[in-house]
Amino acid sequence: MKIINTPEKILSIKTVGIIAKPNDASMKIYFETIRNALEKRGVKLLVAQSTADLFGCEGVSFEAMCEASDFLISLGGDGTLISLCRRSFYFRKPVLGIYAGNLGFLTDIEADEIEPFIEKIFVGDYRIDTRMLLEVTLYTKDKQEKLLAFNDAVFSRAKISGMTTIQASIQGQLFNAYYGDGLIVSTPTGSTAYNLSAGGPLVYPLTEALILTPICPHSLTQRPLVLPVNFEVSFRCKEKDTLIVIDGQDTYEMGDFESVSIKIASSGAKLIHRLDRNYFEVLKNKLRWGDE
């Protein structure tokens, strides 16, 4: 499928929202830099209450921040950015990730670039990439619960001494039973996360695809599988204590549900990046490709 990236821009910037990495007061120096840069432009900065409590300033509720902001800022690492994208999904606001973590594939603006890049935003010198999300539906007899995953949904054994069997079906037809430590279902963006550690493929983040990667399978014939974007896969687990973990942030027990279905969500997360951001350069730097 041909990849088309529409050159979207933010038409008006009067209010910006910010949330920082939880329980890390060292982020305050970067927060002040951001606030000063926006104040020079006459822009109001809304601070999520959890971040305001950490930095000792006035805050607003997360929902009020998202509703009123023209774009949102995540200050921290990839985990902070992923959480913000998931929580703010239904507000459809672009998100800028400012890097203050260890290994970042998503946040590409570093501390010494904050002021120059904020200036670039006001003159339209940036781009917005749309990243696919997973829609995860948990089914019980009486109801269903829908969740969003930015990177991945992971089926994992609950006990270190045991294994789990995960049955996967498409359109009601069983096509595999994964027996081993678990299974990762990831987006192309999530291919550089747990999927990478488990030996799954690296997939260009704007590719339209769904990736299934077994974790330590108990069979040499089990291999990662890349599916078209319009596929929906249903899962059942024989071991009811098997866990399903969403982006490493939320955990559920499969025993509480009859089945789980996963597909690509109808719309994606919007990430603000530098115009010159190069995905392959990011891979080279983060994964140390070509180092002697």
Q: What is the CATH number of the domain that holds 272?
A: 3.40.50.10330
Phi/psi for 23 (5° steps) reads 60, 30
* Residue stretches of the chain with pLDDT short of 70: 1-6, 101-103, 292
Q: Residue 32 belongs to what domain range?
A: 15-131+268-287
Taking the C-alpha atoms of residue 50 and residue 96, their distance in angstroms, rounded to an integer, is 18
pLDDT at 3: 43
Residue indicated by tokens 């799954």? 200
pLDDT at 278: 84
Which helix (H) or strand (E) element contains residue 35?
A: helix 28-39
Burial of 48 (0-12, 13-18, 19+ CB in 10 A): buried
Residue indicated by tokens 């969403």? 246
Full-model pTM = 0.91
For residues 150 and 239, membership in a common domain is answered with yes
pLDDT at 289: 85
Write the CB contacts of 59 (distance below 8 Å, at least 6 apart in sequence).
47, 48, 49, 50, 51, 52, 53
Measured from the Cβ of residue 113, the count of other Cβ atoms closer than 10 Å reads: 14
pLDDT at 111: 83
Measured from the Cβ of residue 107, the count of other Cβ atoms closer than 10 Å reads: 23
pLDDT at 149: 97
Q: Which of 70, 78, 181, 247 is catalytic?
A: 78
> 260, 262, 261, 258: which is closest to 141 by C-alpha?
258
For residues 248 and 152, membership in a common domain is answered with yes
Write the CB contacts of 12 (distance below 8 Å, at least 6 apart in sequence).
70
For residues 23 and 122, membership in a common domain is answered with yes
For residues 43 and 144, membership in a common domain is answered with no
* DSSP bridge partners of 280: none
Whether 78 is a known active-site residue: answer: yes
> 162, 289, 268, 156: which is closest to 213 by C-alpha?
156
Taking the C-alpha atoms of residue 129 and residue 31, their distance in angstroms, rounded to an integer, is 24
Cβ–Cβ < 8 Å for 231, 170: yes
For residues 118 and 142, membership in a common domain is answered with no
Q: How many domains does the chain have?
A: 2
Within a domain: 6: no
Taking the C-alpha atoms of residue 121 and residue 38, their distance in angstroms, rounded to an integer, is 11
Within a domain: 27: yes
